[in-house]
């Protein structure tokens, strides 16, 4: 019997398992993936996500992989150029193959039992309370029980579906996008964001001297864009001469990965014997990044709440309600701003002003 079984071992699951294990709790962490492995995601991290890695003693490991140290974002917002500020706090964009491996290893080192290549097939539910998992590793089927099963299994969360987690504040998808990795791309020590004219483009310097380049566009263009992905990506880059010139010289080193139009949502992140963290509980369009940062922050908050419950210092309902409220308070403003931006990728002067000034204190409701 474990204190917690965590399903999903990337940005949300591994830190949740690591922090619980560091506090002496008995944790099983499972993922159907093995590590290192990639996942559908770019990987620009916000400064507070970077600081969280530092606090956990993991930032040096990420930097030791050669991941470039970045300061600020060079932004072109509907033709208005805003240079990157070299005094901005440190940001990084480590490949997920790098970051997720470091996170899962840290969970293992902290004492969590980690089973990679393990798929959860169903939840064990007795008298309406989740008691554990039925899963398989290769051909070996097994059951394990815990005081709580934590779904850190991404936006299509199996745990959320099986537990019947309700969604709220759902926003229909209005964008789609593609990204890929390029070598020989001249780039600075900062991220780049180009927004306006119905599309957004970004450049993140990442491991191995490569750049991650992407384009996000309105959902209505998805079919047409898909007909010639490479040509349409280059045409988008060419709308900004300084970007088009550099990408024309760069060499693509990966396949092109894509995201079709998709919903943003919040889910009720707990119920009897189960909880959700990361994209499983809250997902928004990746236009402004943030998902990794949100996952790391929520891992810290939920680990604190669960730890309090395990030691008897806190009751389940108030501890988990506080977790949900903290998550929603931390994300609400950017959730609304992202939805507003994604409507047409043509920000109004009011939204432009917010983006130029940095994160606003409040954002208009969607």
Ligand X SMILES: Cc1cc2nc3c(=O)[nH]c(=O)nc-3n(C[C@H](O)[C@H](O)[C@H](O)COP(=O)(O)OP(=O)(O)OC[C@H]3O[C@@H](n4cnc5c(N)ncnc54)[C@H](O)[C@@H]3O)c2cc1C
Based on CB atoms, which residue is closest to ligand X, 98 or 120? 120
Would you state the structure tokens that stand for residue 338, as one six-digit string?
């992202």
Cα–Cα nearest to 207, from 112, 97, 283? 97
- Between 33 and 348, name the residue whose CB sits nearer to ligand X: 33
User: φ and ψ at 249, to 5 degrees?
Assistant: -90, -15
Give yes or no for residue 43 binding ligand X (CB under 6 A): yes
Residues 170-229 that bind ligand X (CB under 6 A): none
Minimum gap (Å) between residue 351 Cβ and ligand X: 20
Using CB under 6 A as the binding rule, the residues of this chain from 59 to 118 that contact ligand X are none
Residues facing residue 271 across a β-bridge: 274
Residue number, 33 or 219, with CB nearest to ligand X: 33
- Part of the chain binding ligand X (CB under 6 A), chosen from 218-226, 247-255, 277-285, 346-354: 277-285
Size of the site for ligand X (CB under 6 A): 34
> Structure tokens of 147?
């005081």
Q: Which is nearer to ligand X, 268 or 314 (CB)?
A: 268
Sequence-distant (6+) residues with CB within 8 A of 55 are none
Say whether residue 52 binds ligand X (CB under 6 A). no
Q: Is 286 in the site for ligand X (CB under 6 A)?
A: yes
Name which position in 6, 12, 62, 107 contacts ligand X (CB under 6 A): 12
Using CB under 6 A as the binding rule, whether residue 269 contacts ligand X is answered as: no
Q: Does 119 bind ligand X (CB under 6 A)?
A: yes
Between residue 126 and residue 155, which ones bind ligand X under the rule CB under 6 A? Answer: 152-154
Helical H runs in the chain? 13-22, 47-55, 59-63, 96-110, 158-163, 222-227, 229-238, 241-249, 291-311, 316-344, 349-357
Secondary structure (3-state) at 355: helix
Give the burial class of 140: count Cβ atoms within 10 A of its Cβ; 0-12 exposed, 13-18 middle, 19 or more buried.
exposed
Residues 6+ apart with CB under 8 A from 198: 217, 218, 344, 345, 346
Q: Which is nearer to ligand X, 301 or 353 (CB)?
A: 301
The binding site for ligand X (CB under 6 A) comprises: 7-8, 10-13, 30-33, 39-45, 119-120, 152-154, 158, 259, 278-280, 286, 289-293, 295
């Amino acid at each position: 019997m474990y204190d917690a079984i965590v399903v999903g071992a990337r940005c949300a699951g591994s830190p949740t398992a690591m922090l619980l294990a560091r506090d002496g709790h008995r944790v099983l962490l499972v993922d159907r993936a093995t590590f290192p492995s990639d996942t559908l995601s770019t990987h620009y991290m916000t400064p507070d996500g970077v600081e969280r890695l530092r606090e956990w003693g993991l930032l040096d490991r990420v930097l030791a992989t050669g991941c470039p140290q970045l300061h600020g974002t060079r932004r072109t917002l509907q033709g208005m150029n805003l240079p990157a500020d070299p005094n901005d706090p440190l940001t990084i964009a480590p490949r997920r193959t790098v970051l997720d491996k470091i996170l899962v290893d840290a969970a293992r080192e902290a004492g969590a039992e980690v089973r990679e290549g393990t798929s959860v097939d169903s939840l064990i539910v007795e008298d309406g309370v989740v008691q554990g998992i039925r899963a398989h590793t290769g051909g070996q089927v097994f059951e394990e029980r815990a005081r709580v099963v934590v779904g850190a299994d991404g936006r299509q969360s199996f745990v959320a579906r099986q537990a019947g987690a309700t969604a709220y504040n759902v926003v229909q998808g209005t964008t789609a996008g593609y990204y890929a990795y390029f070598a020989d791309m001249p780039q600075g020590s900062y991220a780049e964001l180009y927004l306006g004219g119905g599309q957004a483009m970004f450049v993140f310097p990442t491991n191995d001297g490569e750049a991650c380049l992407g384009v996000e566009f309105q959902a209505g263009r998805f079919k047409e864009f898909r007909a010639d992905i490479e040509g349409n990506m280059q045409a988008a880059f060419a709308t900004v001469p300084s970007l088009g010139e550099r990408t024309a010289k760069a060499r693509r080193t990966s396949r092109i990965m894509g995201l079709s139009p998709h919903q943003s949502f919040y889910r009720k992140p707990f119920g009897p014997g189960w909880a959700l963290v990361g994209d499983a509980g809250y997902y928004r369009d990746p236009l402004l990044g943030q998902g990794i940062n949100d996952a790391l922050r929520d891992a810290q908050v939920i680990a604190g709440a669960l730890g309090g419950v395990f030691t008897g210092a806190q009751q389940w309902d108030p501890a988990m309600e506080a977790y949900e409220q903290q998550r929603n308070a931390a994300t609400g403003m950017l959730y609304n701003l992202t939805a507003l931006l994604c409507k047409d990728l043509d920000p109004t002067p009011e939204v432009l002003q917010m983006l130029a000034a940095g994160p606003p204190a409040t954002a208009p409701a969607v």
